[in-house]
């Protein structure tokens, strides 16, 4: 039996997955904060406790995510795109495109039936196509971030919004509030604007169905609905989409550990 751990050092949260022979035995998550390494240590210990696994039993620990080099106990790293492809196809075997929308970055990965990454596109350095955008707009609308999705589903149309930048989007939202546009319609406009950016990224890569959506933003029903409309096809979302990066790292660790033991 091979026990491995994957650590995803995201900008906002750290995710840890523990695998025993490719079966998930524990997941744990915590905020990265200003000391991501320390935060990750806590989440790591929490995950092992939940899995009832002692540290000596772990064959290999691999890390991924933008802070992968800061991961504790890590024996190596896996690229974010590689992790997305591997875990995306593992969870949804028909997926050939994995779209990952996180707090500060979005990417689309094209992959084959084995979960090997073929090509990818990344949107970084701009907050308008990532989770931060929803957070900022929720603040401007004075609703909780989790309420944005359900709220947007009540809208019959989207408000006219030029929300291509978080900084400008905030003032757009404020002026829409002053014009007494309804909150559901503004919320829908926020998701539509994001979905616009993400779908153009997917189109650059070439749509290769099925499309799986993963990452923290994949839990947002409002964003899923908007992306579905923009792409004009079904979007498959696995259970626990925010753990896909960590799972990909852990799966890669299992392959490497087995390869080494042969």
Provide the minimum distance between the beta carbon of 189 and other proteins in the complex, in angstroms, as a whole number.
15
For residues 98 and 260, the answer to whether their CB atoms sit within 8 Å is no
Distance CA 209, CA 134 (A): 26
Which range binds other proteins by CB under 8 A, 18-26, 55-63, 121-129, 241-249? 121-129
Of 31, 162, 203, 260, which lies in the binding site for other proteins, with binding defined by CB under 8 A? 162
Among 165, 205, 221, 235, binds other proteins (CB under 8 A): 165
How far is 82 from 51, CA to CA, in rounded Å?
A: 25
Residue of 59, 77, 132, 152 that binds other proteins (CB under 8 A): 132
Q: Does 200 bind other proteins (CB under 8 A)?
A: no
**CA 146/CA 109 separation, integer angstroms:** 27
SS3 content of the chain, % helix, strand, coil (to 5): 50, 20, 30
Ramachandran angles phi, psi of 146, nearest 5° = -70, -20
For position 34 contacting other proteins by CB under 8 A, the verdict is yes
Whichever of 44 and 133 has its CB closer to other proteins, that residue is: 133
- Residue nearer to other proteins on the CB measure, 17 or 190: 190
Shortest distance, position 162 Cβ to other proteins, whole Å: 8
Nearest to 222, CA basis, from 136, 139, 122, 151: 151
Q: How many residues bind other proteins (CB under 8 A)?
A: 20
Query: Among 68, 70, 80, 166, which residue sits at the site for other proteins (rule: CB under 8 A)?
Result: 166
Residues 6+ apart with CB under 8 A from 132: 103, 104, 166
Taking each helix axis from N to C end, the angle separating 183-205 and 166-178, rounded to the nearest 10 degrees, works out to 150
The binder of other proteins chosen from 125, 142, 156, 180 (CB under 8 A): 125
Q: Choose the stretch contacting other proteins; rule: CB under 8 A; options: 63-71, 128-136, 152-160, 204-212.
A: 128-136
Cis? peptide before 210, omega within 30° of 0: yes
Stretch that binds other proteins, among 1-9, 94-102, 129-137, 140-148 (CB under 8 A): 129-137
Closest to other proteins by CB, 197 vs 256, is 197
Q: Considering the rule CB under 8 A, would residue 178 count as an interface residue with other proteins?
A: yes
Least gap, CB of 172 to other proteins (angstroms)? 10
Binding to other proteins by CB under 8 A, coded x per residue (else -) over 1-30, reads ----------x-------------------
**CB contact at 8 A, 227 and 220:** no
Cα angle 230, 233, 234 (rounded to 5 degrees) comes to: 115
Q: How many CB atoms lie within 10 A of CB 261?
A: 8
Q: Which residues are near other proteins by CB under 8 A?
A: 11, 34, 104, 124-128, 132-133, 136, 162, 164-168, 174-175, 178
């Amino acid at each position: 039996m091979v026990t491995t751990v994957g650590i995803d050092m995201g900008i906002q949260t750290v995710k840890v997955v523990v695998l025993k022979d490719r079966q998930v035995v524990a997941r744990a998550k915590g905020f990265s904060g200003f000391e991501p390494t320390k935060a990750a240590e806590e989440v790591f210990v929490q995950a092992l406790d939940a899995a009832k696994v002692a540290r000596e039993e772990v064959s290999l620990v691999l890390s991924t995510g933008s802070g992968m080099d800061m991961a504790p106990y890590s024996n190596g790293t896996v690229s974010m795109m590689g992790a997305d492809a591997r875990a995306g196809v593992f969870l949804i075997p028909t997926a050939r495109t994995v779209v990952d929308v996180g707090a500060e970055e979005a990417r689309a990965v094209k992959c084959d039936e084995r979960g090997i990454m073929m090509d990818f596109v990344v949107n970084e350095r701009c907050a308008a196509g990532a989770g931060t955008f929803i957070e900022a707009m929720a603040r401007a609308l004075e609703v909780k971030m989790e309420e944005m999705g359900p709220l947007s589903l009540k809208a019959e149309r989207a408000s006219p919004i030029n929300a291509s930048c978080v900084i400008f989007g905030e003032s757009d939202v404020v002026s829409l509030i002053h014009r007494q546009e309804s909150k559901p319609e503004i919320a829908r406009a926020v998701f539509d604007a994001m979905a616009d950016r993400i779908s153009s990224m997917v189109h650059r890569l070439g749509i290769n169905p099925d499309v799986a959506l993963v990452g923290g933003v994949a839990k947002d029903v409002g964003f899923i609905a908007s992306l579905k409309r923009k792409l004009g096809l079904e979007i498959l979302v696995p259970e626990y989409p925010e753990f896909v990066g960590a799972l990909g790292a852990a799966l890669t660790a299992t392959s490497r550990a087995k390869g080494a033991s042969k």
